[in-house]
């Protein structure tokens, strides 16, 4: 007995041909999207690192200070953003810190010395710190978080414990809490002309910074503790990579001035 196979009618249009047509259309659409995305990405890459438009700073470059893009010095937002990035990548610097005598609550009066963050945070120089209840002039070294001091007439350094319990200048180069954080935390800022600081033509940017941000670098306590929004002026080098040349902080009782120089110079600091 033979089995009879029933022949069903085919729908209009061969199914295999329709499948191939749909597949070809889908592949074509994906190719177009990829091409557009690729062109858009290339355009963005070309713009990043070379733009000097006043709208915003170009994309940040994380790897090297020497690779940082150029920005317009008339664009305060771009200038502040780029200076913060440059400072975050800084591994060594010379500082001079001066605190007006009437500014109370700070454990430091002045510091003059070198800082490094490579391979670890360290500082060395001369300063006047609040040790006990007295302002004491010393030579100092900060290494491994310890503060070593040498008073006038002494020949050897002595450890007096953790630097953070007195004053730690090395915090200035901390990538997340130090000077870079201070710069990028400036609020309500605007350009305020130019001024020459230590031979460097600098752009002045005025604004305010919350006391909690300042307190990391300039810890205050007691009646002199900072609070609220503090008036601050940043002096940023007019030329790339836009180093922060000076910070001026104004409080009711006086001023705090921190100047920087010798960015990225070789600094070798060892614990005594």
Cα–Cα distance for residue pair 95/223, rounded to 1 Å:
27
Please check whether residue 58 lies inside any domain of the structure: no
Q: Please say whether the beta carbons of 209 and 231 come within 8 A.
A: no
Domain that holds residue 225: 82-261
Q: How confident is residue 248, by pLDDT bands cut at 50, 70 and 90? A: very high
Taking phi over 0 as left and psi of -120 to 50 as alpha, with beta for the rest, 132 belongs to left
Cα–Cα distance for residue pair 110/126, rounded to 1 Å:
8
Please check whether residue 59 lies inside any domain of the structure: no
| pLDDT single digits (tens) 100-158 | 999 989 999 999 999 999 989 999 999 999 998 899 999 999 999 999 999 999 999 99
Query: Going by C-beta distance under 8 Å and a sequence separation of 6 or more, which residues neighbour residue 122?
Result: 115, 116, 141, 142, 143, 170, 267, 269
Q: Please say whether the beta carbons of 97 and 110 come within 8 A.
A: yes
- Total number of domains constituting the chain: 1
Reported as half-sphere exposure (CB side, CA atoms, 13 A), residue 58 has a value of 19
Cα–Cα distance for residue pair 175/197, rounded to 1 Å:
24
CATH code of the domain covering residue 243: 2.50.20.20
Residue 18 has a CB neighbour count (10 Å cut-off) of 12
Please check whether residue 115 lies inside any domain of the structure: yes
Please check whether residue 43 lies inside any domain of the structure: no
Residues 83-88 have a mean pLDDT of: 96
Please check whether residue 198 lies inside any domain of the structure: yes
Among the residue ranges 21-25, 158-162, 167-171, 177-181, the one predicted with the least confidence is: 21-25
Reported as half-sphere exposure (CB side, CA atoms, 13 A), residue 72 has a value of 12
Write out 248-264 in H/E/C secondary structure: EEEECCEEEEEEEECCC
pLDDT of the residue at 62:
52
pLDDT of the residue at 63:
54
User: What percentage of the chain has pLDDT greater than the value 70?
Assistant: 75
Please check whether residue 148 lies inside any domain of the structure: yes
């Amino acid at each position: 007995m033979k089995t009879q196979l029933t022949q069903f009618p085919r729908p209009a249009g061969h199914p295999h041909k329709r499948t191939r047509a749909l597949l070809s259309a889908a592949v074509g659409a994906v190719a177009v999207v990829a091409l557009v995305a690729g062109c858009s990405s290339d355009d963005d890459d070309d713009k990043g690192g070379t733009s000097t438009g006043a709208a915003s700073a170009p994309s940040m470059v994380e790897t090297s200070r020497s690779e940082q893009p150029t920005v317009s010095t008339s664009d305060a937002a771009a200038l502040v953003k780029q200076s913060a990035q440059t400072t975050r990548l800084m591994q060594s610097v010379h500082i001079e810190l001066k605190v007006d005598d009437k500014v109370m609550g700070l454990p430091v009066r002045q510091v003059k010395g070198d800082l490094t963050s490579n391979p670890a945070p360290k500082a060395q120089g001369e300063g006047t710190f609040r040790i006990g209840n007295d302002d004491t002039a010393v030579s100092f070294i900060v290494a491994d978080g310890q503060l070593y001091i040498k008073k006038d007439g002494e020949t050897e350094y002595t450890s007096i414990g953790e630097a953070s319990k007195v004053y730690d200048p090395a915090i200035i180069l901390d990538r997340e809490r130090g000077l870079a954080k201070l710069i990028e935390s400036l609020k309500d800022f605007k350009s305020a002309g130019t001024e020459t600081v230590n031979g460097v033509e600098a752009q002045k940017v005025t604004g305010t910074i919350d006391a909690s941000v300042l307190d990391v670098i300039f810890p205050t306590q007691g009646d002199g503790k900072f609070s609220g929004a503090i008036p601050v002026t940043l002096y940023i080098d007019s030329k790339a990579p836009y180093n922060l040349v000076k910070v001026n902080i104004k409080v009711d009782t006086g001023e705090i001035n921190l100047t920087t120089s010798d960015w990225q110079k070789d600094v070798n600091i060892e614990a005594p």
